[in-house]
Structure 1
Amino acid sequence: MHDTRLDVLAADQLGWAVHPHAQEAEGGTFNPLKFQLLDPRALTFYREWELSTNNAVALLRAAAGRDPGDEGIIQLVGELSTHSERFRQLRACSHNVLRSREGVKRYRHPLVGEIDFDFASFDVSGEPGLRGQAFDTTTHHQSRWE
């Protein structure tokens, strides 16, 4: 479950295990976009780092367009603009917006190795700005998690 800033608000035990870096998140809130753009380990963790950062910035741009006065989004954009050259490039050169519904996430997990997840994203009924995601490995490398 994440909000418009892409802060992860809730996950099950396996969800947290997929992102081992989440436990180190500043302030206790894991933000995959901040991890992708500010932590050099993300270059190894995300097998399609460029695509992943493009998509995440497009998701943030769409959220900012829906609520341009959202203080959390404004603060996140300021932080990323200050500390990430990649974010500045994407903000200046790309005006993509995205509302991700489904796809594949490809990780290089430090304990499991390469793993792919099909995912589906959905709105949480009655909670504007909250989105849930369901992940499935059955078509990929399920045996690695057994």
Structure 2
Amino acid sequence: MSDRKQVRAGVREQIREFLATRRARLTPEQAGLPVFGGSRRVKGLRREEVAALAGISVEYYIRLERGDATGVSESVLDGIDHALQLTDAERAHLRDLLGAGGGRPPASPTARPRLRAPVQRILDSMATTAAVVFTGRLDVIGANALGRALYEPMYADPVRPVNTARFAFLDPAARIFWRDWDRIADDSANLLRAEAGRTPCDAQLTALIEELSTRSEDFRIRWARHDVRSYATGVKHIRHPIVGDFELAYECTRLADPGQMLLMYTPEPDTPSEDALRMLASWAASKPSADQPHPADGPHSTRADPG
């Protein structure tokens, strides 16, 4: 089987499993359907129920769920969105999968993402904000001094680039660092699942997923759910080895460079968390210059972090 055919076969399997898991999570009551007596052999909604809710034929929905439908119209997709009560992230994921499975060239991954010098200067200008830049594979490819200090436990692993999913699932220190580890683990798997839909040809992403699936049961369980997530805002609860417990609000925004995201952490003013981040900034400033971020810490480097 050619590489392209193999990718399309994999995408079609993702379509089947994604739609099947979305069906399974909805009960007839949740979908607004009448419930009659007797037991149901199918968990969640049946295919014919989804088809009826979406306003399409059962035969066409079966073809769609098998990944065999091509040229799916926006009205049909809107019907599926409504029937399965998809989130915005799930809607985008389904469209990515159907596009790749139906023959549309999938998005090409950036093999060697690089942080442009102006972006690094912007990062360095954020003196009181911890900021990092990462890719869809969750590789950290840039940070300011405070962001590097915040992610200090991740940099303890000599493998480069630093990867937040690898840290979350394979490093025991992650369960201490992330006080809300379960949510972080969910988010990491869900972000990777969404990225797999966008870039199914990304060999590095495939290798990362295989590594995590092989080495972490926690990842395998989450990966099998086919849940997806988009980048958003929120609060993370951290137990840092230098300054202890604190909470940081975060904002995430896309950069002009394909696949690159800027993540910024900031505490609530006049709180212990603000004091902790200020202490972390002082600690980062006192470190020897050799411990600061280095260009070799970028993608494809295996340089061990000094110190």
For residues 65-76 of structure 1, the aligned pairs below 5 Å read 65-76=197-208
**1:122·1:132 contact (CA, 8 Å) conserved in 2?**
yes
What is the aligned length? 144
Counterpart CA distance in 2 for 1:27 and 1:131 is 21
- CA distances 1:79-125 after superposition (whole Å, capped 9, x unpaired): 00111110111112x22111122111111111111111111111101
AA aligned to 1:59 is: L
- Structure 2 residue corresponding to 1:136, chosen from 266, 276, 283: 266
**Equivalence for 2:164:** 32
**2:168·2:174 contact (CA, 8 Å) conserved in 1?**
yes
CA-CA distance at 1:143 after TM superposition: 1.3
Higher RCO (CA 8 Å, separation ≥ 6 residues): 1
AA aligned to 1:98 is: R
- CA distances 1:48-94 after superposition (whole Å, capped 9, x unpaired): 000110011100100110111111110100100111110111112x2
Q: Does 1:97 align with 2:228?
A: yes
Residues 143, 62 of structure 1: CA spacing in aligned structure 2 closer, same or farther, 3 A cutoff?
Answer: same
Give 3-state SS (helix, strand or coil) of 1:52's partner: helix
Give 3-state SS (helix, strand or coil) of 2:159's partner: helix
**1:16·1:22 contact (CA, 8 Å) conserved in 2?**
no
Q: Comparing both structures, which one devotes a greater share of its residues to strand?
A: 1
User: Structure 1 stretches of 5 or more lacking a match?
Assistant: none
CA-CA distance at 1:145 after TM superposition: 3.0
Q: Name which one, 1 or 2, has greater alpha-carbon Rg.
A: 2
RMSD across aligned positions (CA): 1.2
**Equivalence for 2:251:** 120
TM-score under structure 2 normalisation? 0.45
Q: Does 1:59 align with 2:203?
A: no
TM-score under structure 1 normalisation? 0.93
**Equivalence for 1:21:** 153
**Equivalence for 2:237:** 106
Give 3-state SS (helix, strand or coil) of 1:37's partner: helix
**Equivalence for 2:9:** none
**2:179·2:237 contact (CA, 8 Å) conserved in 1?**
yes
Counterpart CA distance in 2 for 1:100 and 1:15 is 18
**2:267·2:277 contact (CA, 8 Å) conserved in 1?**
no
Identity %: 33
User: Structure 2 stretches of 5 or more lacking a match?
Assistant: 1-132, 279-307
